Amino acid sequence: MPLRLPRLTMFAALAVAALAGLAQAQERIVPSTQSQIQLSFAPIVKRVAPGVVNVYAARVVESRHPLLDDPVFRRFFGIPGGGSRENVQRALGSGVIVHPSGLIVTNNHVIENASEVKVSLSDKRELEAEIVLKDPRTDLAVLRIKEPRESFRALEFANSDEVQVGDIVLAIGNPFGVGQTVTQGIVSAVARTQVGITDYQFFIQTDAAINPGNSGGALVDSQGRLVGINTAIFSRSGGSLGIGFAIPSNMVRVVVASAAGGGKAVQRPWLGAKLQLVTPDIADSLGLKRPVGVLVASVAPGGPAARAGLKTGDLIVSVDGQLVDDPNAFDYRFGTKPLGGIARIGLLRGGREVSVSVALQTAPDLPREELVIMSRSPFLGATVSNLSPALAEELRIDASVEGVVITDPGDGSTAQAVGFQRGDVIVSVNNQKIVRTRDLERLAALPQRIWRIVILRGGRQLSVQLSG
């Protein structure tokens, strides 16, 4: 016999069924207005696109075939003496207008060694540009349109620290030189520090399609604000695999501010301490549950860290309340702080939480007395400089080291053939201490049968013996 529901229960069941039907109807509602049909990023792109440009860089390189040195070969083919031939190499990329006066930011690798730079606006006009500032440490460069006759559409900076995984972003650039292109995706990760692209490794990762030619282009949020400069992709084929990396806008802002202020180099805060990655073994010795923070390996006397009271063995865990997990994260957090103020550094010292205030100031520079070694010696062709805290910071060398540093071994030089590298510190030559560049120049000019050289490379001391 069928079971009858009480009248009240039946009404409740009908009500639930009605609500369920209403919910299903709402999920499948038919669009009834134009605005419901046309959900699009087009308004954002229309507003932002004029602020993104194509960048064309050209450099002249001299090519020379070995046969051109043969006078018989030159005479037979009627080639004049010298026989060298100039080729023009061209590179293309993208850029972002960041000031109405025509200031543009792009990647340094797009315009590296360029003798001529042009930019193409979204309306197809081509304009000449000059290089204002290059910052290889971040792979950023700032250009300026020559003789601007108008006010240009500039993109607004977003606070990249507020970007979250899952945010919708648009990438705008010039992939493969086909012209301005827009792709859409999400933020796949933030604070990527183990990418190995630049000195300051702290990238926004996105799955928006980025390809060669997008370098220097804009990554914008759903409001059309600049959150990053597209810089690199992870790819096995040369094309997009959905893993792209962008330099956060807060770092871009620092570089642009230096250029706008007339600087030829980016001014950043100097800590005056050598930092070390916390490995699982170090974390275990410190009683930590997992590797976290940055270990202070040494402190430069008289530097900001020393004056603030930082000590060797301190574990840095935060900068102004923002957590840091490795040296790259610290460099980014500290390096994007404005000069002239202070940064609150959170520490763990002996199991206790400590906070110190570090003054935000630049590293002191000394007369570098840069010169090229011209004497016949293992150093022939190398450019060397006196080591100062500022140069040590630039080359990521321990500021407490003394000696003369190789800033450029010289392409094709004897120094390069011997194996010297940029950043090598020459400590002594034939048991004589090297303090200034003139010391090295003098010793290099002396004829020697045996060269005994002590250098510092990557924190390790190496002894080298070479025949004269």
Active-site amino acid positions: 109, 139, 215
CB-based burial label for 40 (10 Å; 0-12, 13-18, 19+): exposed
Helix axes 327-335, 249-260, angle to 10 degrees: 40
Provide the Cα torsion 123, 124, 125, 127; round to 10°.
120
The answer to whether 430 and 441 are in contact (CB under 8 A) is no
- Report the C-alpha gap between 190 and 234 in whole angstroms: 15
Of 24, 21, 25, give the one whose Cα is nearest residue 13: 21
If you write DSSP's letter for every residue of 213-271 in order, what string do you get?
T-TT-EEEETTS-EEEEEEEE--SSSS--S-EEEEEHHHHHHHHHHHHTT-SS------
Say how many CA atoms lie within 13 Å of 429 toward its Cβ: 27
Report phi then psi at 421, rounded to 5. -130, 160
Q: Is 180 helix (H, G, I), strand (E, B) or coil?
A: coil
